[in-house]
A and B are shown apart, each in its own frame.
Chain A
Amino acid sequence: EIVLTQSPGTLSLSPGEGATLSCRASQSVNSTFLAWYQQKPGQAPRLLMYGASNRATGIPDRFSGSGSGTDFTLSISRLEPEDFALYYCQQHGRSPLTFGGGTKVEIK
């Protein structure tokens, strides 16, 4: 099973600041098979990025993704109030499909 480790666990930032979220895999993942999701309290997750760097429909361009092999990054260039949420990475290259433990981006 591919274990995904996200860091930091919590990121405390102010609106307008930039955020960098890390996702590290226990073994190499083809970037084609790496996705990111956003989840707000009481809501279902929502697809943000697929193929490591492709934004899903309707996702603003302040979100960007990068990485390869075992290290992947989700960046948010200027935090808007609606961006404070939980973020999960996920791999679908090998079964079982696995998620990282999540990074919470909270208002400082």
Chain B
Amino acid sequence: QVQLVESGGGVVQPGGSLRLSCAASGFTFTNYGMHWVRQAPGKGLEWVAFVRFDGSNKYYADSVKGRFSISRDSSKNTLYLQMSSLRVEDTAVYYCAKDARRFGSYFHYWGQGTLVTVSS
């Protein structure tokens, strides 16, 4: 069965950096696009970033463009989100999600999330 396990969350000061990881198993990682989606405490869902199945194209929400970078390592079946210049408003649970297809569609499976808190 599909499993997505996020890690790397924690408390960081404004302006700091953090790298999130998502270990994927139960499917052929190289066949599917992957996303990061976040949810601020008590708020709704916000799509953050997407990378195509082969890493060839990456897309970002305007709110994180230039500060966050999504990548994937097919040798480790792992998705990453490098976050820098973090702001208080980046505080959220970050979910990795498997796309239903290679080039981007809906979020087929979700991990359990990792909490990022940006606070001084």
Contacts and interface: CB of A to CB of B under 8 A. Distances in A.
Interface of A: 33, 35, 37, 43-47, 50, 56, 88, 90, 92, 95-102
Nearest to B113: A44
Interface in B24-82: 35, 44-47, 50, 59, 61-62
A45 B62 contact: no
Interface size class for chain B? 20 to 34
A35 B99 CA distance: 12
Given A44-B112, A88-B45, A99-B45, A35 B59 contact: no
B61 A90 contact: no
Given A35-B107, A96-B61, A102-B44, 5 more contacts: A44-B95, A88-B44, A90-B106, A92-B105, A95-B59
B61 to A, nearest CB: 5
A90 B39 CA distance: 14
A92 B44 contact: no
Contact of B106 (A44, A47, A100): A47
28 contacts: A33-B105, A35-B106, A35-B107, A44-B110, A44-B111, A44-B112, A45-B45, A45-B95, A45-B107, A46-B110, A47-B109, A47-B110, A50-B105, A50-B106, A56-B108, A88-B44, A88-B45, A90-B106, A92-B106, A96-B47, A96-B59, A97-B35, A99-B44, A99-B45, A99-B46, A99-B47, A101-B44, A102-B45
A46 B113 CA distance: 13
Contacts of A44: 95, 110-113
A97 B44 contact: no
